[in-house]
Chains A and B, each alone.
Chain A
Amino acid sequence: MLVLLFIIFGGLAIGCAINVVAQRNPLYCAISLIGVFMSLACLYLMLAAPFIAAVQIIVYAGAIMVLVVFVIMLLNVDEEERRNIRMGLLVPAAVILAAALIGEVAFVLWSVSPNPTLQPSDVGLTNSIGSALFTSYLLPFEITSILLLMAIVGAMTLARRTEVLPPGARVVPGAQLLAVSDLDPSASHDVQTPIKSDSSAEAAQILGIVDRDQSKRD
């Protein structure tokens, strides 16, 4: 029974993992990766580590991959074009790494003999993880939380840059919020009167704003 389940979920994990690499559409890759995480969670469950299984699903499948899918959807990445990647050094590197992996697996299979006196362990249980985190590993735990806090603060400072604009800032429809003086110091348009225009290009012309992206493209 357990062997059957192991074969099912192990096979699913391997199949999904191959699919992650083989697919060209990034969204299909992401979905396959979710499949890998799910099957891994099922394997953890079979190893009597329900807490790790649940956290695997909540953190990886439920949070991180949602963000990945979110980004793929927002950027609207199309299928990767088929192109000739210069293999060069990559081929021998891949061969060496594959050989190392196979050797490792062979070593594990050779050195580990089926042990009839398996001790039931409580490694994956909520209780043991909780008590370990708050006693023997308290310092690393706290340091990690400070690290995460720093990451949050960093993300916020990066995202809130628009706050430092001067009060004379203008909004061009469809463009980023920028001050006139930032873009073109020589433009002496008076900042009080509102501009009337039908399109963003026209408004930019009146304000004397040069579309830098446009000039880069030309």
Chain B
Amino acid sequence: MEQILDIILRFVAITVVFTVVLLIVAYTVLAERRILGLIQGRLGPNRVGYGGVLQPFADLLKFILKEDIVPDKSTRFIYFLAPVIATMAALMTMIVYPFGPEVTLPFVGWTIPLVVAHFDVGLLYVLGVTSVGVYGIALAGWSSNNKYSLMGGLRSSAQMISYELALGLSLIGPIMLAGSLDLTKIVDMQSRFHGAGWLILLTPLSFIVYLIAAIAETNRVPFDLPEAETELVAGFHTEYSAMKFALFFLAEYINMFTVSMLATTLFLGGWNVPFAEDIFGRGTILFALVSVIGFLVKIIFFLFLYIWIRGTLPRFRFDQLMNFGWKFLLPLALLNIFITATLIFFKPDLGW
């Protein structure tokens, strides 16, 4: 009986997290269009609802109502499978991030950790699921039976494989300092010094490498070669229309969100808000609320950074992209591992 209750509770938690994430993602799209408008000296969508707040729902309705066109010579099964893989891989990582501290409910006295699934190798799980996301794009490009799509898919696979290395190596720094692959433990470790022991202070280099590699992993400007519209029409999703296109669109923005979440968890202290624990006390609802809001604010900062970068930087050329990834980011990540290890060797109390 208790087991069934536990499973039901987990499904409820997953549903809540997915809903919140999808809502935030929908508004990221709107925010991106408005902020890009601001940067480029125009207005952006502001007609649907007050200041455009209902625009995401209008877009969704449009996506649903559009005709779904399937290219004649596409490989059917894979063509349908690709957007599903992309979205699923993007959504699946959500469950391991702790988005708040343990909270003790008043009256009943239950202590609930604010995380959907506590996973011993949470970080590796995130890396694994993200690496599966490549298939969505690569298969979409191949199955459309279109040269532009194939080019987009191949570019994307090459880019993601190359930058995954730098990304993985940049995570070694925080792992070494925290001494664990468990995201909950990594966040707890950053609660030292009144919640201000953020790992970015100890490994700033690894933060920079992570940030750059993460932008490349999500195929965003300036690394948006897989869908460079001036060269490849729209890249891997040229042949996709209606809801299937919407799924790819969604996957891209969810990936942005996931990457921001990981950056927050590993480098910016996760839900830790400096001095919040001293003011509200551990385990109270108010403390949990402040922490969750702090977590969201940090994520939104990263999302804004993404949009900002998109509005201000031009696109890489493909050879520049490869040179940058292999000859600059990768050695930098290795150097960072060396520096962090030296640091821990001489000051062991820095780490766990």
Q: Which residues of A contact B (CB under 8 A)?
A: 1, 25, 27-28, 31, 34, 41, 50-51, 53-55, 57-58, 61-63, 66-67, 69-70, 73-74, 125-126
Within 8 A of A (CB), among B123-146: 124-125, 127-129, 131-132, 134-135, 138-139, 141-142
| Chain A residues near B260 (CB-CB < 8 A) | none
| Chain B residues near A57 (CB-CB < 8 A) | 128-129, 131-132
Given A66-B134, A69-B138, A73-B138; A126-B120 close (CB under 8 Å): yes
Given A27-B75, A69-B139; A126-B121 close (CB under 8 Å): yes
Contact of B125 among A54, A70, A73 (CB under 8 A): A54
A-B contact pairs, 17 of them (CB 8 A): A28-B77, A31-B135, A31-B139, A53-B121, A54-B124, A57-B128, A57-B131, A58-B127, A61-B128, A61-B131, A70-B158, A73-B150, A73-B153, A74-B154, A125-B120, A126-B120, A126-B121
| Chain A residues near B127 (CB-CB < 8 A) | 54, 58, 62
Q: Which residues of B contact A (CB under 8 A)?
A: 3, 75, 77-78, 81, 119-121, 124-125, 127-129, 131-132, 134-135, 138-139, 141-142, 150, 153-154, 157-158, 161, 164, 181
| Chain B residues near A54 (CB-CB < 8 A) | 121, 124-125, 127-128
B77 nearest in chain A by CB position? A28
Extra contacts, 4 of them, besides A1-B3, A69-B139, A70-B158 (Cβ < 8 A), are A31-B78, A50-B121, A58-B124, A70-B138
B160 nearest in chain A by CB position? A66
- A58-B78 Cα distance, complex, nearest whole Å: 22
Contact of A27 among B78, B120, B128, B132 (CB under 8 A): B78
What's the minimum C-beta distance from B244 to chain A, rounded to whole angstroms? 18
Contact of B131 among A27, A58, A73 (CB under 8 A): A58
- A137-B150 Cα distance, complex, nearest whole Å: 44
Given A73-B150, A74-B154, A126-B121; A62-B131 close (CB under 8 Å): yes
| Chain A residues near B131 (CB-CB < 8 A) | 57-58, 61-63, 66
| Chain A residues near B135 (CB-CB < 8 A) | 31, 34, 66, 69
| Chain B residues near A125 (CB-CB < 8 A) | 120
Given A50-B120, A58-B127; A66-B157 close (CB under 8 Å): yes
A67 nearest in chain B by CB position? B161
| Chain B residues near A31 (CB-CB < 8 A) | 78, 81, 135, 139
Q: Are B157 and A50 in contact (CB under 8 A)?
A: no
- A126-B161 Cα distance, complex, nearest whole Å: 24
What's the minimum C-beta distance from B144 to chain A, rounded to whole angstroms? 12
Q: Are B132 and A61 in contact (CB under 8 A)?
A: yes
Interchain residue pairs A-B with the least CB separation, the first 6:
A62-B131, A54-B124, A57-B128, A58-B128, A73-B142, A50-B121
Q: Are B75 and A62 in contact (CB under 8 A)?
A: no
- A62-B154 Cα distance, complex, nearest whole Å: 15
| Chain A residues near B75 (CB-CB < 8 A) | 25, 27
B165 nearest in chain A by CB position? A63
B179 nearest in chain A by CB position? A127
| Chain A residues near B78 (CB-CB < 8 A) | 27-28, 31
- A50-B124 Cα distance, complex, nearest whole Å: 9
Q: Are A51 and B132 in contact (CB under 8 A)?
A: no
- A125-B134 Cα distance, complex, nearest whole Å: 27
What's the minimum C-beta distance from B344 to chain A, rounded to whole angstroms? 15
Q: Are A51 and B124 in contact (CB under 8 A)?
A: yes
| Chain A residues near B154 (CB-CB < 8 A) | 70, 73-74
What's the minimum C-beta distance from B229 to chain A, rounded to whole angstroms? 22
- A87-B142 Cα distance, complex, nearest whole Å: 34
Contact of B121 among A51, A67, A73 (CB under 8 A): A51
- Candidate in B120, B127, B158, B164 with the most chain A CB atoms within 10 angstroms: B120
Q: Are B124 and A55 in contact (CB under 8 A)?
A: yes
